[in-house]
Amino acid sequence: MDDSNIIDFRNKRILAPMVRVGTLPMRLLALDQGADLVYCEEIIDFKIINAKRFENETLGTLDFTLSDGTVVFRTCNREKSKVIFQLGTADAKRALISAKKVEDCVTAVDVNMGCPKEFSIKGGMGAALLKKPEKVKEILTTLVNNLSIPVTCKIRVLPSLEDTLNLVKLIESTGVAAIAIHARTQSERPRHPNRNDYIKKISESLKIPVIANGGSKEINCYQDIEQFWKDTGASSVMLARAAQWNVSIFNKNG
């Protein structure tokens, strides 16, 4: 990684990756409301690999489109230093090809290792990777060693704290710049409590920034973000549903 491209993942309020939500308009709105960093919705490796790059002069955007005109990913200069491209993948080679296509127009690449949806699991992506530590290591190491921008990943926790700590230490060893933790297991849903104590233990165990996620159920205003931050001891906080419901959550006056 080029040292000039290092970004600080500490002390940040971040828009989480959300399918069908984290598109360009939402990301720009979140930045306008005070978000420090924004993640795009998860993009599957095959889609970005098959997409063509197109300078959209009408909109002032950079588009990656499929042959039928479907826009896989759209970005613009205004978010270039703030947007993290989240990749859905189960293969190191495809991951690198995908990341190289967007390397010059995003600030970092994140690997989704937490999505519990059937589509991701059947494809060996998302939370399926939590049970394949060697695959995790291969994908992340390949990206870290071959990209000029930071690499991060977002995971869910394992049922056992000990197993979770072993996994995050392995992830840290690959050279990633930060790790986001949704503190629920693959089988748990929003109605289940977020395991904030897991995030706290992870934060105490790692040297890299830890981004706390999963607290939207208790976050209704800006001040609640600060409480979640304190409860988890994390470096930064990432919001999904709370921001989807009210994007001004990033604003002190929101």
Q: Which residues belong to the active site?
A: 115
**Which residues lie closer than 8 Å to 110 by C-beta, 6 or more apart?**
17, 39, 84, 85, 86, 87, 151, 152, 153, 154, 180
**Which residues lie closer than 8 Å to 15 by C-beta, 6 or more apart?**
22, 26, 27, 30, 35, 37, 38, 39, 238, 239, 243, 250
CA dihedral 84, 133, 44, 101 (to 10 degrees): 60
Dihedrals phi, psi of 113, to nearest 5 degrees:
-125, 30
- Spatial separation of the C-alpha atoms in residues 187 and 213, rounded to whole Å: 16
